[in-house]
Structure 1
Amino acid sequence: MTPDKIDVLLATGRVTVEHDNEHRSFRHHTGMLTALLESTGRFRVRVLEEFRGIGDELLDRFDVVLVMYEGRDDYHSVAEGFGTATEQALLRFVRDRGRGVVWFHGSSVQEPDWGWPEEFDRMRGATLSRETGLRPRPQGEVVVRTTEPRHAITEGLDARWAVVNDDVLTGARMDPSARVLLTVFDDVDSYRRAGWPNAHTPVVIPPGGLEALPGMDTEQPLAWVNEWGAGRSFCVTLGHDWDTFRKIPFMTLLVRGVEWAATGEVTLGPPERTGAARWRVWPYYDGDPSRFDRAVPAAAAAARH
């Protein structure tokens, strides 16, 4: 029996300039998130570009909220929250109603002086702020590690895989309740080679130098899950660069993470990329590849298109 579709509310809108430039790249991100999720056949996605002010009545129509909202224009600005009514509604949505929330990329960041509810950190299972050493590590090719291969979200993923030119946020301080799925080794040499920090990165270097930054030369969490109240939270700080969306491990991690946050279970596998299915274009999960399969008579394949 085909499972019921999961209703996803993709909450976006105000994001930092690097995600919302003259090309409206945040809409490209929302388009890619929507296309990837819906291509699995498991999700029905609705995008909302003004999340502030909504309450229980709207949220109750959905199984999971995917947050791609930063509430500020750049790294140096104070973020604007959702407003008390919406923030409390989201907490009830997860804690009391047993639904899910997904924190995507920079939406996980929450400085203590921004006025967001402290419970948001407990809901996501981690604190991400400059006080914990939060920083975007130097860009380039980065090898990430599947730290917890026994979780349903990461089962079968490569033990190590690479991302290129992503904005890899490190320095999260994890709650004991969180379960880390994905990490990166945050080596100090990569910072030295990059001449870090730059003006874009408002991180204070301690007197001991780069080596004294919290978590330096250790495995740093990039994706994790947390059960909070009756509901669930999935966080992934990767996803800045569009090339990351084409990585099979990332695609699998993301769709499974959203499914798990919504239901507590995982039914989705990676997209099929063998045989005729290797000809599918992104997002790889859907599309009839029979026209490329020589085992299917040409006339029959053509009739399907």
Structure 2
Amino acid sequence: MQDIHLFIIVFCLVIGLLDIILNFPGYHRWKFTDIFRSILKIISSLAWSIVLPLCYIHQNDNISMPFGKVEDILSNLNRFERIPSVYLMAVALYLVPNLLSAALFIFPMLRRWIENSDWLIVRFLLWWSQPRIYVGRGMHESQFALIKYTLFWMVLLCAKFAFSFFVQIKPLIEPTKDIMKIKRIQYAWHEFFPEANNNFGAVAALWLPVILVYFMDVQIWYAIFSTLCGGIIGAFDRLGEIRTLGMLRSRFQSIPGAFSVCLLPSERAKRKGFSLSKQFSEVTPNRRTEAAKFAQLWNEVVCSFREEDFISDRKD
């Protein structure tokens, strides 16, 4: 706890610098308001890097600070040991934008409504967080899709961290302790640090490959999980079911029904659920309207194939 204020200073400054560095390629396309926002963010980072350590020092040294009646109002928070009410309030104010961003990420419908709003305070908050864009504005994934995406990465990262700890890191703990216990080793070859009393070089050589693999195996786990999830989703969606032209001809009678169910809005509510089989009814006399709608689409497909020379212009 004694060095936490140093971490806060570095953390706030790093956030401001990363915001500048990561957006550097687009500076020549920025407007004055965008540059002004970046300058304000740097000033805000510097201000927080000063305010938070001052509040932390105040809770250790019990120095009176010019907060007036704020400390009296927040005196009920003194039950937290070694953390004053003023410091808690400063941390809470610092975390409010992050909590707001997390809430907008968790609830896409709220973000969609905010992006389509023209209120002055809403436009100011959006201007502070990111430039105002119009491409894809208000178009976000559904709540269910967001939950699935978040669950995918949670399971992936849990598997990655568990494998890294139990297979890569844990087996090296005891060897590292044994290496550090060895003192005064006389090597037969040249020593780069002859006056050293510890074996930090051997420990670094032991841990360096593990650390490199630890930071690089995320893409391997992503490839594994994306393959598994893609295979499961493809099995439920029946992808690749029609593989040859013969299978296409045999199921051509059911295509209008599938077209009507999947691509046209239906008045009846769609029954939700998972199934490995999807059957579509063939065209009957009372479904001539569906066949007529599909015929228009199929004529456009055939005309497009002929324009691209995929098929000939013969009528047969």
Q: TM-score, normalised by structure 1?
A: 0.21
Task: Give the structure-2-normalised TM-score.
Answer: 0.20
Question: Greater RCO between the two (CA within 8 Å, min separation 6)?
Answer: 1
Higher strand share: 1
